[in-house]
Amino acid sequence: METQIREPSHESFRANLPRRHVVSKIWRAVFRVSTVVGIVALILLILNICNRSFGYVAVESPFNLESQSLQGVPLEELPKEELLALLEENVSRGTFRRLDREKPFEQRSQEEVYVLLIAEVGEPKIVKTWTLYESLFQRARVFAQAQEEFPDAELRFRSWINWDFITSQLSSEVEKAGIRTAILGSLWTIAITILVAFPLGVGAAVYLEEYAGDNPINRLIQTNINNLAGVPSIIYGMLGLAIFVRSLAAITSGAAFGANGDTAANGRTILSAGLTLALLVLPLLIINAQESIRAVPNSLRQASYALGATKLQTVLAHVLPNAIPGILTGTILSISRAFGETAPLVVVGAATYITLDPSGPFSRFTTLPIQIYQWTSRPQDEYRHLAGAAILVLLILLLSLNAFAIILRNRYSRRF
């Protein structure tokens, strides 16, 4: 009787088994492929950036100085009119007009025009760029194309990321443009962010973990912090624009302190940017610091109280020293988030084009991500290469920050 009942179910179980195993295997493959897709995305991202950061460029001096001097008369001795004609021929009309506006050509001497000609035309110009992929795998095509389109040009392999790129300031010329101003701007802004956010964040975390009783106000603060962590960064930008840039312009532009900051900045300064970013990272920093403080075992606090220490003494001498590696790690991670933040700073009013290094909290600013944004949003290929190189610098900086945080965590974290 019993076997009769078991037998059919057993059979259907058997019959189903291969199908179930096949389905299971198919889905395992799907899950695996998804994971691989995620990894491939990261690899593609990095390859794409490297692809634009290196590659062949065709460099051309449209005005070949040596061949000109071979025509009998050396270039320096040509009359001014001919030099002017050469200049007009070889620079764009806009540049020519700009030069005329700076100082009318009638007022310039022959020597001045000659210097101008050398500076504007004599410098080699990048006329065409190729990506790393093209440079490596389609070399023949690159060479043929260069030969055909730019017969006078010299083909060179260029690393867009190089020492000059990091140390020179912004320029409208692709060959000379660098990111020094942007890096300094980023560092200034982040310094202010840390100065403001770290004491406030640790203070709030200590308050919530050590002092706050379970009452409505404290619960509200806690919920509020969790909600603030989910507010889009651009909203913080709007807040910064209305409060720091507009309402507190007297303070953020430095006028209230008699600082002779850039008068054109009117509140759109490093100080405003730093404060905005500080508000942005504060919730993250508090949540991280709270976790580290919570991880300090209660026995330590009780031992301290038993010896007659006050609450403050307990916090300062026992809780914080034990929580500080975790707090620092959390701080570094929040700061690296602020370092890559772009949108709020665009809203707060980063300068679109400055070549002046920031000199203090009251200067106008640009930061590395903003520079990347501006270069990327230009349609010309050359700027995409510059943006790619700047992204490499940014990613290397961020990776080293994160690596530092991980080392800190592994080295000093204690387990109780």
Partner 1 sequence: MEIQIDRELNSQADVSGAHLKEPLDLRRRARLLETLIESWLFFSGAISILTTMGIVYVLGRESLLFFASKQVSLLEFFTKTQWQPQIGHFGILPLLNATLLTTFFAMLIAIPLGMSVAIYLSEYASMRTRNLIKPILEILAGVPTVVYGYFALTFMTPLLRTIFGDNIVQIYNTASAGIVMGILILPLITSMSEDALSAVPRSLREAAYAMGATRLEVGIKIVVPAALSGIAAAVIVGISRAVGETMIVALAAGAGPNFTFNPFEAAETMTGHIVRISGGDISYATIDYNSLFAIALVLFFMTLSLNLISQRIVRHFREVYE
The distance of closest approach from Cβ of residue 32 to partner 1 in the complex, given in angstroms and rounded to an integer, is 6
The distance of closest approach from Cβ of residue 217 to partner 1 in the complex, given in angstroms and rounded to an integer, is 9
Nearer to partner 1, 83 or 202 (CB): 202
What's the CA gap between 104 and 343, in Å, rounded?
Answer: 42
What's the CA gap between 348 and 352, in Å, rounded?
Answer: 12
Give the Cβ contact number of residue 192 at 10 Å. Answer: 20
> Counting beta carbons within 10 angstroms of the beta carbon of residue 383, is it exposed (0 to 12), middle (13 to 18) or buried (19 or more)?
middle
> What is residue 126's DSSP assignment?
E
Residue closest to 391 by CA, chosen among 233, 182, 132: 182
Nearer to partner 1, 52 or 364 (CB): 52
Nearer to partner 1, 334 or 363 (CB): 334
The distance of closest approach from Cβ of residue 415 to partner 1 in the complex, given in angstroms and rounded to an integer, is 18
Question: What residues are paired with 122 via a beta bridge?
Answer: none
Task: Tell me the CA distances in angstroms from 293 to 60, 93, 152, 215, 349, one per residue in order.
Answer: 62, 65, 67, 20, 37
The distance of closest approach from Cβ of residue 333 to partner 1 in the complex, given in angstroms and rounded to an integer, is 8
**Residues 6 or more apart in contact with residue 321 via CB below 8 angstroms:** none
Nearer to partner 1, 117 or 206 (CB): 206
Q: Match 């900086």 to its residue by tokens.
A: 397
The distance of closest approach from Cβ of residue 136 to partner 1 in the complex, given in angstroms and rounded to an integer, is 17
How many DSSP H helices and E strands does the chain contain?
Answer: 19, 3
- The pair of three-digit structure tokens given for residue 110, joined into one six-digit string: 């022959």
Task: Tell me the CA distances in angstroms from 12 to 6, 15, 21, 63, 303, one per residue in order.
Answer: 10, 5, 14, 86, 65
Nearer to partner 1, 153 or 252 (CB): 252
The distance of closest approach from Cβ of residue 392 to partner 1 in the complex, given in angstroms and rounded to an integer, is 10
What's the CA gap between 345 and 278, in Å, rounded?
Answer: 12
The distance of closest approach from Cβ of residue 300 to partner 1 in the complex, given in angstroms and rounded to an integer, is 19
Nearer to partner 1, 159 or 227 (CB): 227
Parallel, antiparallel, or unpaired: how do β-strands 54-60 and 125-129 relate?
Answer: antiparallel
The distance of closest approach from Cβ of residue 100 to partner 1 in the complex, given in angstroms and rounded to an integer, is 26
Nearer to partner 1, 37 or 119 (CB): 37
> Counting beta carbons within 10 angstroms of the beta carbon of residue 103, is it exposed (0 to 12), middle (13 to 18) or buried (19 or more)?
exposed
Nearer to partner 1, 30 or 356 (CB): 30
